[in-house]
Amino acid sequence: MKLYDILYVAHYDQQFCVALTNAYDQNVIVGKGTRADMLDENDDKHLFWNLMDEVDEIEICGDILLVIIKNEHHDERLETQYSERYVNTWDKLKPETRPYLFRFELGKLMEDDNNAI
């Protein structure tokens, strides 16, 4: 199933969190909010480029549907996809310093978002 297939049939007010994953449990959030929010052309996450990516996992987290997708870079570490200068600023123990979250951090984020709704 492709991400597009899920978004096409989604109810207009369904809340989503869409994350791109790899084989190293590095999950980059590429969209958050309703379908309309995520497909807004002014969104800096660029969900549009991931619409035809394969869905790896779907999880219901309270009122939010967490959709994990994977693409052609699934077997590559994110460190190889960014500049060395940027990668050197990352700290594995501090999620705010890196562009990805580990799976347990993503789950914690979903809990926090559900408590905010």
Per-residue pLDDT of the chain (117 residues; tens, 9 = 90+): 999 999 999 888 999 999 999 999 999 999 999 988 888 766 565 788 899 999 999 999 888 999 999 988 999 999 999 999 999 999 999 999 999 999 999 988 888 877 765
So what's the pLDDT on residue 109? 87
So what's the pLDDT on residue 12? 86
Q: pTM higher than 0.85, yes or no?
A: yes
Q: Compute the distance between CA of residue 41 and CA of residue 73 in angstroms, rounded to an integer.
A: 24
Residue 30: burial class (beta carbons within 10 Å; 0-12, 13-18, 19+) = buried
Where in the chain are the domains?
A: 3-116
